[in-house]
Structure 1
């Protein structure tokens, strides 16, 4: 009887651990987008702190390090928009692998850098350059989603039919540099990538707009994958595979992609992009939608690629 209750407890604990947690989403966003993180600009001590935080979560979930130095894939990022004395900066992708002994791998990504004090030419807030741009939606929301998806698949008690590679990209705000570096120096065999899911700005859901799912046209398999998929939030699909975020780097290498995005807002690249404006309930529902899409994609032996532009 004691063994029975122990097993029941472990089952309940494991099931609860695998759920998408609004509490954890809130914790991640508030940590990454706090004033003390100073906008997580590439090359800063705060970007390093964010990278260390993501590493710690990957380690906690039991992911296998798949960078070039444990979870790290280090590279140099160049500032191009403005002239600065430290134009070459240290950056890193943080890469964790869920090995299911499968022949193919699904990549899930989100960038963790933001624009600091807005002084590198990428602020939309000309009156407040020199003040902290916290980047809660852009892209602490996506990183929170990345971490919760990593936890879900690592803790759900299921050995999936595909491996999953979770990547927190560095230096996206300087021109998609982290994802560009990864596709040129992949840490898995590139021809084994099934498809790539990217999250960038998924925290400001508005019912009148819904969630954009960009990249629907990049594989002939996506229409069947989405057939019958429903959600508690409004979403719509868009064919294009490139534009605006890290999925573009994969699309240009003939990898099918989906990019989840809740759209622009008045705080984009401004000082008002703060954690208290994130809709955590909608963020959770978006991730649950992504899980349905990922799971259904595992019914396809290997995704084909279709160029859209």
Structure 2
């Protein structure tokens, strides 16, 4: 997902298309039900607006798989699979790096790995959970959360049926001094109860706000409770140096275990209320 052959997964280009195929392959492997508008795919057009380029309009896809537990409500788990390509679409923090491949190992191959691991876990755990789960690989997040915006404006399930949304964006560079950020804790009065008794081998800090620079924001704006798991910024963010060898896999495993505990506790709750945090 973050090797040079993916060419930085730029929206509308070959690498991003290959990343979408990769997510779809695993959704099929885990026998998730297709929940796009064209199989697993929800096609949309994204536009590059940060910089002037010759081909600003790009084709992209949300990849959507559904674990149907015949339940009345749905939990959404998402992560974006696109990145900056070679930096020509804007967003690079390295002016000398434009033209070099931005592999985006943390941003957001790490989140996609988490998405696929949670899909594997819940599709193979021989437990019929009391909630359905919708897994989404979002396209065009780097162009302005465009994939998640498109989904929430053109949902393939009823938004009223969504219990809450879990988003993973940059979960690969855990810093013990800062800890893991869990953003959105204030978006439902149920979250304090959900987190009761949950412990982890890593430090995590709960933050109330539902807004933020990733795909959970699109759901928050539709009055849906959200949590955004994020290990924070670092010197390699949006630079060609965001490479796979810097990922902390042991910490990622702990983050996913924490997420499973939170998800499982949330499934013990009735339909959650929504709270604005600002």
**TM-score for both structures, normalised by structure 2:** 0.99
Aligned partner of 2:33 among 60, 64, 73: 64
Aligned residues: 278
Q: How does 1:3-42 map to 2 (within 5 A)?
A: 32-42=1-11
Q: How does 1:206-217 map to 2 (within 5 A)?
A: 206-217=175-186
Does the 8 Å contact 2:36/2:156 carry over to 1?
Answer: yes
Higher helix share goes to which structure?
A: 1
Measured against aligned partners, the alpha-carbon deviations of 1:61-84 in whole angstroms (never above 9, x if no partner) come to 010000000000000000001111
Aligned partner of 2:235 among 250, 266, 276: 266
Cα drift, residue 228 of structure 1 = 1.2
Q: How does 1:9-158 map to 2 (within 5 A)?
A: 32-158=1-127
Q: Does the residue aligned with 2:8 lie in a helix, a strand or coil? A: coil
| Equivalent-residue separation in structure 2 for 1:115 and 1:136 (angstroms) | 11
Cα drift, residue 227 of structure 1 = 1.1
2:258 is the counterpart of 1:294: no
Measured against aligned partners, the alpha-carbon deviations of 1:200-248 in whole angstroms (never above 9, x if no partner) come to 0000001111100000000000001001110011101000000110000
| Equivalent-residue separation in structure 2 for 1:105 and 1:158 (angstroms) | 16
2:166 is the counterpart of 1:197: yes
Cα drift, residue 190 of structure 1 = 0.9
Does the 8 Å contact 2:84/2:90 carry over to 1?
Answer: no
Cα drift, residue 121 of structure 1 = 1.7
Cα drift, residue 85 of structure 1 = 1.4
Q: Over aligned residues, Cα RMSD in angstroms? A: 0.5
Cα drift, residue 299 of structure 1 = 1.1
| Equivalent-residue separation in structure 1 for 2:55 and 2:98 (angstroms) | 18
Q: Point out where structure 2 has 5 or more consecutive residues left out of the alignment.
A: none
| Equivalent-residue separation in structure 1 for 2:268 and 2:189 (angstroms) | 14
| Equivalent-residue separation in structure 1 for 2:212 and 2:180 (angstroms) | 16
2:136 is the counterpart of 1:167: yes
Q: Does the residue aligned with 1:39 lie in a helix, a strand or coil? A: helix
Q: Does the residue aligned with 1:300 lie in a helix, a strand or coil? A: coil
| Equivalent-residue separation in structure 1 for 2:253 and 2:90 (angstroms) | 33
| Equivalent-residue separation in structure 2 for 1:135 and 1:226 (angstroms) | 31
Does the 8 Å contact 2:75/2:165 carry over to 1?
Answer: yes
| Equivalent-residue separation in structure 2 for 1:124 and 1:201 (angstroms) | 16
